[in-house]
Amino acid sequence: MKPHTCLRIVLILASMLLWWNLSWAQTPRAEREHTAQSLATLLNVGRLVVERNQPLINDPQKGDKGFTPEAFEHQVVEEFLRQTAIDLNRLPSDLPALEKIQLPLLLRASKEVVADAQFVINQRGIGYKNFIPATFGSQAARKFSNRSHVKIKQTALNPRNLKNLPDAYEEQILNRLAAQPVSHAPVTEWIDDGKLLRTLTPIYYSQDCLVCHGDPKGMLDISGYLREGAREGDLAGAISIQIPLNNP
């Protein structure tokens, strides 16, 4: 074979590969999977920002904490940009159309949860206020899901908050994740004959969580729940997302 024929074949193959990649990236399924992943990351980032501000929120000496919805948003936008390279203030034009709608919706729901909690957060003379990553996450997920055909939920095998009880599908995946070594990769599946996307992004306990969820098992923690006796690295739960292939 002549060298230039060989080069042409390589070029044709390369352009076919590029075309295949681009068309794949634009399929409705791939777009929904990308959207689900970004939403799970955004809810997790909100939880992380609440966790970072926990000492401030729980400070009994201080009245006005300055942990306003705007301060929260600012920190979320920064952390989300760091984790995903997506700027929530200037969404990239090549983001899936669905994601461009859903990300701002979740950010708004999250901010509203922080706004609703201002009175509690700014109380003086009280340390623990039950405004923690889990209560934030449950409320933001619920607010968002009430307004969207996309559903987000924080769930666990034996949840403290019964509203977080897993459905049959979530229970099956959580059991599977609990039996596996730690992996932060989401479980992504199309069920109902490929018509419904379900993703579960696992959450694991770190050392910080064990004051409430760790030992001594069965003893009340500061939030008034019984400690689970969990260890660092145990599966705590998951962020569960459902997106239909076609909007209802």
Asked if 211 touches ligand HEC (CB under 6 A), the answer is yes
> In terms of CB distance, is 96 or 214 closer to ligand HEC?
214
CA distance 118 to 63: 11
User: ∠ CA(187), CA(188), CA(193), 5° rounding?
Assistant: 135
Q: Angle at CA 49, nearest 5°, toward 231 and 104?
A: 120
User: Environment class of residue 134 by beta-carbon count within 10 Å: exposed (0-12), middle (13-18) or buried (19+)?
Assistant: buried
Q: Rule CB under 6 A: choose which of 49, 117, 203, 243 binds ligand HEC.
A: 203
Alpha-carbon gap, residue 82 to 73, rounded angstroms: 14
CA–CA separation, 239 and 187 (whole Å): 10
Is residue 53 near ligand HEC by the rule CB under 6 A? Answer: no
Size of the chain, expressed as the number of residues it contains: 248
Which residue's CB is nearer to ligand HEC, number 150 or number 230?
230
Q: How far apart are CA 84 and CA 42, in angstroms?
A: 9
Cα–Cα dist 67/57, whole Å: 8
Nearest approach in angstroms of CB 174 to ligand HEC is 10
Q: Using CB under 6 A, which of the segments 64-72, 104-112, 119-127, 206-214 binds ligand HEC?
A: 206-214
- Site residues for ligand HEC, 56-115, by CB under 6 A, read none
Figure out which of the listed residues 169, 221, 234, 245 binds ligand HEC, where binding follows CB under 6 A. 221
Q: How far is CA 183 from the centre of its chain?
A: 15
Instruction: Show contacts with ligand HEC in window 130-169 (CB under 6 A).
Output: 132, 134-135, 138, 154, 156, 159-161, 164
Give the binding-site size for ligand HEC (rule: CB under 6 A): 25
For ligand HEC, which is the closer residue by CB, 121 or 156? 156
Query: In the complex, which residues of this chain contact ligand HEC (CB under 6 A)?
Result: 51, 132, 134-135, 138, 154, 156, 159-161, 164, 203, 205-206, 208-209, 211-213, 221-223, 225, 236-237
